[in-house]
Amino acid sequence: MELVSTHCHSRYCGHGEGEVEAYACAAEEAGLATLAFTEHYPLSGAFDPDGYLSVPEQAMGSYREAVAEAAQRHPSLEVLCGVELDYLGDLEDRALGPAELDGFDVVLGSVHFIDGWAFDDPAQRGRWEEPGAPDAIWRRYGELWCEAAADRSLRFDVMSHPDLAKKFGYYPSFDLGPLYEAMAEAAAAGGRMVEVNTSGGYYACAEMFPAPALLEAFCRAGVPCTVGTDAHVPVNVARDIRKAYGLMARAGYRSVTVPGKGGARRSIALE
């Protein structure tokens, strides 16, 4: 069965490690058929003053060249060049027209910021401890995620780690079921794909993104699903892909959808 990962980061973003070539070698050794590099699209100084969260604008050309070179060196591996693009809502301060994004094979949509606050940054997690914070944060996260997923004017091919708000293990007091249904409806309305992101099992939440109940909601809504390891070091490039396939199958999926060049999609039957 083909193994794919449509989400990884290298040393080009401030919190990744390892060369693009090292990821391609590790992917090939692990038997992957497809690997998408999805570095964090440049953020402005207002959101990333230390250059830790995203790729510096001046490094994007080198990043593209490194991915192209890896594709040439590994013809048996389908190598895609993509980006992970943060949804910033009304605070968006970048030009994000066709000229900026059309050259990428895949664009992951992410919500890492809630009204300018990087809620999943360990250095900024103190706000989660405030009285009533989990309820307010989850509600606002859900609003922003649904906005991003449903807006067809945005170039998001795949919505990544859909319930990232659980990363630190904080949950709201209210039932998440209605939010899950709203997220599934938004993804379907926007024509998005979602991913099973295997990295969640290694955070405090100790569970892949998304939760089984949310993945089931996506499946019921007819939202295609792919898999990404979100590796930030080469050794993790193929981590838990088969487990992700199993999670998908239990949620009701019968195939894994793989994005490709030029907006193409293909399917891999789940065995």
Quick: pLDDT tens for 235-252.
Answer: 999 999 999 999 999 999
CATH of the domain at 125: 3.20.20.140
pLDDT in tens, 114-165: 999 999 999 999 999 999 999 999 999 999 999 999 999 999 999 999 999 9
How far apart CA 86 and CA 203 sit, in angstroms, is: 20
Distance (Å) of CA 35 to CA 5, 63, 67, 98, 255? 5, 15, 10, 24, 18
CA dihedral angle for residue 127, residue 131, residue 137, residue 140, rounded to 10 degrees: -130
Question: Distance from first CA to last CA of the chain, Å, rounded?
Answer: 8
Look up residue 123 and give its two tokens.
């250095």
Owning domain of residue 177:
3-269
Look up residue 176 and give its two tokens.
């998440």
pLDDT in tens, 63-87: 999 999 999 999 999 999 999 999 9
pTM exceeds 0.75, yes or no: yes
Look up residue 98 and give its two tokens.
């066709």
Give yes or no for residue 99 having a pLDDT over 90: no
Cβ pair 172, 138 in contact under 8 A = yes
Q: Tell me what pLDDT residue 82 has.
A: 98
Number of domains in the chain: 1
Give yes or no for residue 263 having a pLDDT over 90: no
Give yes or no for residue 271 having a pLDDT over 90: no
Reported confidence tier of residue 102, pLDDT bands at 50, 70, 90: confident
For Cα atoms 247, 251, 257, give the angle at the middle one, nearest 5 degrees.
75
Give yes or no for residue 9 having a pLDDT over 90: yes
How far apart CA 112 and CA 165 sit, in angstroms, is: 9
131 CB neighbour count, 10 Å cutoff: 7
What single DSSP character describes residue 209? B
CA dihedral angle for residue 119, residue 207, residue 133, residue 231, rounded to 10 degrees: 0
Q: Tell me what pLDDT residue 21 has.
A: 98
Q: In sequence order, what are the residues at sequence separation of 6 or more whose Cβ sits closer than 8 angstroms to the Cβ of residue 22? A: 10, 234
Q: Tell me what pLDDT residue 254 has.
A: 98
Cα–chain-centroid distance for residue 78?
19
Cβ pair 77, 35 in contact under 8 A = yes
Q: Tell me what pLDDT residue 69 has.
A: 98
Give yes or no for residue 214 having a pLDDT over 90: yes
Q: SS3 sequence, 126-164?
A: HHHHCCCHHHHHHHHHHHHHHHHHHCCCCCCCEECCCCH
Give yes or no for residue 262 having a pLDDT over 90: no
